Every structure is written in C-alpha cells, then in structure tokens.
Amino acid sequence: MAKEFRFPDVGEGITEGEVVRWLVKEGDEIKADQAVAEIETDKAVVEMPSPYAGTVLKLHFKERDLVKVGQVLVTVGERGEEIPEGVPAAAGRGEFRPAAPAAAPAAAARPAGAGTLATPKVRAMAKELGVDVGAVEGTGPGGRVTEDDVRAAGDKAAPAKPAPKVKAKYDLFGSLERIPLRGVRRTTAKKMRESVDHAAHVTHCDEADAATIAARRDKMRAEAEAQGVKLTYLPFIVKALVEALKLHPTLNAALDEDEGEIVVKKYYNIGIAVDVPDGLIVPVVKMADEKSVLEIAAEIQALAKAARERTLDLADLKGGTFSITNVGVIGGDAATPIINYPEVAILATMRIAERARVENGAVVVKTTLPLCLSFDHRVVDGAEAARFTKDLIRFLEALEGP
C-alpha cells in the first residue's frame, strides 16, 4: 500500500524548508532510512531520510520549491501501484496554496410545476453549470427559461479569472533583476523582522585598548598553528564576554512574554554570526565558560567552515544565550546590530586599528577595539548595559591565561 512521507517538524519553530536537491528519482527502489532529499531549513541543509522502503512513486515538489511542515514530500509503495486519490501535489513552484474552497451547494431545485417553466434539457444544463434554474428570469414564451438564459446566469455566477500578474523587467530608469527571497536570506529576513517586532532595541558603544589582547594573540599564535588552528581575536573576546556576563546575568537571558518573566540562563552558549553568501548563520559555541581560548578558537573555526559548506547540524544552531557579530573582520568603527531574538543582547566587535586618542592632555596613537552592544531595553536598562560594557573592557584589557 502506498505511503506518504510528509515533511516532518524538525523543531525550533521551523515551518517550512526549501528542496535543495533530490537524492532519488521516481521509480527508484529505496530502503528505510535512506536519504531522499536535501532540505534547507532554518539556516542548515539537512538530509531527509524516508521512514519507508519501496519504490518511489512520486516526488511531489521540484528542486527550489518551498515545502511546508506536513506536506507530502514523497509517495512510496510497490512498483506499478497507483497513487491513491487525495495525495496532494506541490501547489505551484515555490508557494503553498490552500485547497480551493468547496462550491456552495446549489439551492434545492424547485419541484416541477412550482412556477419555473423550463424543459428537462434546460434543467439538465442548469444543473451541470451549477445554476439554480428557479432563480433565473426566463425570456422565452410565457417566461420560460431558455438555454441562453441559463448560460447567461452561469457566466454571471462564474468567478472572474484573475488577471495575470505582470512583473516589470524595467522601470523608468533602467532594467531590473528579481532575486527570489529564499533559503538563508529568507530565514535571515524573517528572524530580523521577528527581532524588531519583539525587542526594544538600543545600542551602546564604547572602546577597549586592544594592546593586551594583541599581545596575547601574538604569544599564542605559534601554539595555535601547531594545532592547525588559526587564532583570531574572537576567542579572547568570548572569554572576556563570559566573565562580564557572570557579573551582569540579565544580559544572558530571555524574556518570557507569556509569563511576564525574565529567564536568566545559568550557562554560557555564545553564538557567532558567520557571513555566508546569501545571509547570516549563527552557530553556537556551547559551554564557552568551560573551554580555553584555543578550544574556543578551534570550535569557531570548525563551526564557521561547516556553516559556509552548509553541513551544520541543527543542534549547532540551538541553545544560544548571547551572540557576537564580528563586523571588524571586514571594517568599520560602529554598528547597530539586530538582537538574535529571543536573546536580549548582541555584541558587534569592530575593526581593531590604530587611532588618535587624547591621553593626559597629549594626542597619542593607540590600538583600540570599538564595541557596540545592542540590547532589549525591556529587560536591560541603559546604565546596566554601560556597566556591562565597562566590565567587558576591563576583562579584555587585563586578559590573562589561556
């Protein structure tokens, strides 16, 4: 008997995915737990294993189509078996359309001789067109309803065909290119909108003296390279960040809006925003407080590589308590990052560079690290955010040990 493999709920509030690639074709014999498709879900590409063995009778979506949780991906059965009626196919490339509403039942036909004059042939035509012959005004002799009357009533009752949607390829100033909002870019857009809708964003900026962190990195670089690890400033920032979060726990929290409670996390899972060609992916360094600088560096390197190659496990994207976006690797002195909701704060680390600063009345050149902290003002006050940033700077400037 044919079985329907539906797109499962993979957690984390994911409601849809995009078919990246089919790994089987119609007519193939498959085993139970064999991967049949690669589906791009919430910032990760995952293989979908079929729970059934048998012959692939139908693939219900094309590559690059969007599929909703609960929709049928594949129908599996015995070779030559017909697909049972009621198995929904994809509702058009890249979109999900609900089933058309059932036509309203026609009013009960008037009994013969009840005042409507119409031949059996005309009544049969009215029934076929879904027209209530009793409601049609007859134009024939004695008010008799004719075939033309029924056709005219059918034309009026028929829903107007929607006009074809035309997408302009040009405007008044030149040609246009339309890029589908799909995959990571689509997920990024939804997450950013969700964050802006929920959190009261405020950004606080400050600056750290980067001399200590630079010296520490130079001292440990050879050891890191011997272990195959490229050592950046980011692991040192993570270590200092965790210490600052311990002093300011409300920045390592989430707001339970339904219960009206601030939920403080007693663990430190730091999300690291990774720039990929079509958006941002935020894998999470778990239990960062229990790891050394080199361990954090190795994990960030592995997670970033997996993010760019789209081989991350969904578990790598879960459980974050605070996020960092390292804008400085590209450049810039300030930013206003969007909070990675439902977290309540995110830190943008900017470009470490030599800058002219006034010290003891004299202009000096110092290597500095600008820091921009966005926070949810519903949970964190501005004064608390400033104190947190000052403590973060203190830990960065006095960083010791691995």
Give 160-223 as a DSSP string.
Answer: PPPPPPPPPSEETTEE-------HHHHHHHHHHHHHHHH--EEEEEEEEE-HHHHHHHHHHHHH
The three state secondary structure string of 340-382 is CCCECEEEEECCCEEEEEEECCEEEEEEEEEEEEEEECCCCCH
> What is the pairing mode between strands 174-175 and 170-171?
antiparallel
How many Å apart are CA 47 and CA 31, to the nearest integer?
15
How many Å apart are CA 286 and CA 316, to the nearest integer?
9
Joined together, the tokens standing for residue 312 give 């991350």
Q: Reply yes or no on whether 377 is catalytic.
A: yes
**Whether the Cβ atoms of residue 237 and residue 349 lie closer than 8 Å to each other:** yes
How many Å apart are CA 247 and CA 269, to the nearest integer?
16
**Whether the Cβ atoms of residue 168 and residue 176 lie closer than 8 Å to each other:** yes
Joined together, the tokens standing for residue 5 give 């493999």
**Whether the Cβ atoms of residue 357 and residue 333 lie closer than 8 Å to each other:** no
Joined together, the tokens standing for residue 13 give 């509030």
- What distance, in Å, lies between the first and last C-alpha atoms of the chain? 61
Alpha-carbon distances, residue 277 vs 232, 280, 334, 383 (angstroms) = 21, 8, 22, 37
Contacts of 114 (CB under 8 A, 6+ apart): 134
How many Å apart are CA 347 and CA 271, to the nearest integer?
10
Indicate the Cα dihedral angle 248, 252, 257, 261, nearest 10°.
-50
Joined together, the tokens standing for residue 272 give 């690291």
**Whether the Cβ atoms of residue 291 and residue 299 lie closer than 8 Å to each other:** yes
**Whether the Cβ atoms of residue 71 and residue 24 lie closer than 8 Å to each other:** no
- Catalytic entry in 198, 204, 248, 377: 377
Which residues are catalytic, by number?
377
